[in-house]
């Protein structure tokens, strides 16, 4: 006589079958691929396929962004100062492409992200220290380089 548990056991076993069949098909495909590659290697018919994305050539034209990736990329060949300049240029382009409304929303979000520690540090400064810090920030902003955009305008 079959019990309730026997029915559940049967249903559980039946549910496993489609997944196991799929796994078996995948393993058989992988096995046939490996056998094919092994036959190519042993017979010398064809070289092994290269894996991964091919490296792009450098596209370092005057003013054009660098578009290569990977181990042999232009980004990897840059010095830290060159990477820094490139990132500043990209940020300036993004800033210039934002509308005034988007810029205001971005600034509001940035101010909201100020850390609690920074707010405490500012609150603990004297008026003279705050004034000196503001002067430093204004001086640094005055030294900010302008960015060259693709269409020739500056940010």
pLDDT digits (tens, 9 = 90+) for 101-142: 888 888 888 878 877 778 888 899 999 999 999 999 888 888
Decide if 53 is inside a domain: no
Decide if 153 is inside a domain: no
Decide if 128 is inside a domain: yes
Identify the CA nearest to 146 among candidates 84, 78, 96: 96
pLDDT digits (tens, 9 = 90+) for 35-45: 888 888 888 75
In whole angstroms, how far apart are CA 154 and each of 32, 77, 99, 146, 151?
58, 27, 15, 6, 9
* Mean of all residue pLDDT scores within the chain: 79
- Structure confidence at residue 151 (pLDDT): 61
Are 121 and 63 in contact, with CB atoms under 8 Å apart? Answer: no
85/40 same-domain check: no
Decide if 29 is inside a domain: yes
88/138 same-domain check: yes
Total domains present in the chain: 2
Decide if 37 is inside a domain: yes
38/90 same-domain check: no
Decide if 69 is inside a domain: no
Decide if 59 is inside a domain: no
Q: What φ, ψ does residue 98 adopt, rounded to 5°?
A: -80, 145
Which comes out higher in pLDDT, residue 87 or 77? Answer: 87
**Domain residue limits at 30:** 8-46
Are 56 and 74 in contact, with CB atoms under 8 Å apart? Answer: no
Q: What is the pTM of this model?
A: 0.27
């Amino acid at each position: 006589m079959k019990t309730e548990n026997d029915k559940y056991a049967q249903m559980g076993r039946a549910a496993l079958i489609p997944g196991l069949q799929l796994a078996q098909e995948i393993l058989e495909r992988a096995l046939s691929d490996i056998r094919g590659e092994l036959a190519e290697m042993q017979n010398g018919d064809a070289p092994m396929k290269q894996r991964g994305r091919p490296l792009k050539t450098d596209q370092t034209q005057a003013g054009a962004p660098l578009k290569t990736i990977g181990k042999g990329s232009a980004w990897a060949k840059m010095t830290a100062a060159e990477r820094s300049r490139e990132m500043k240029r990209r940020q300036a382009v993004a800033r210039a492409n934002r509308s005034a409304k988007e810029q205001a929303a971005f600034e509001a979000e940035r101010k909201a992200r100020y850390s609690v520690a920074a707010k405490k540090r500012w609150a603990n400064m004297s008026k003279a220290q705050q004034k000196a810090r503001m002067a430093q920030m204004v001086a640094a902003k005055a030294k900010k380089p302008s960015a060259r955009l693709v269409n020739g305008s500056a940010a």
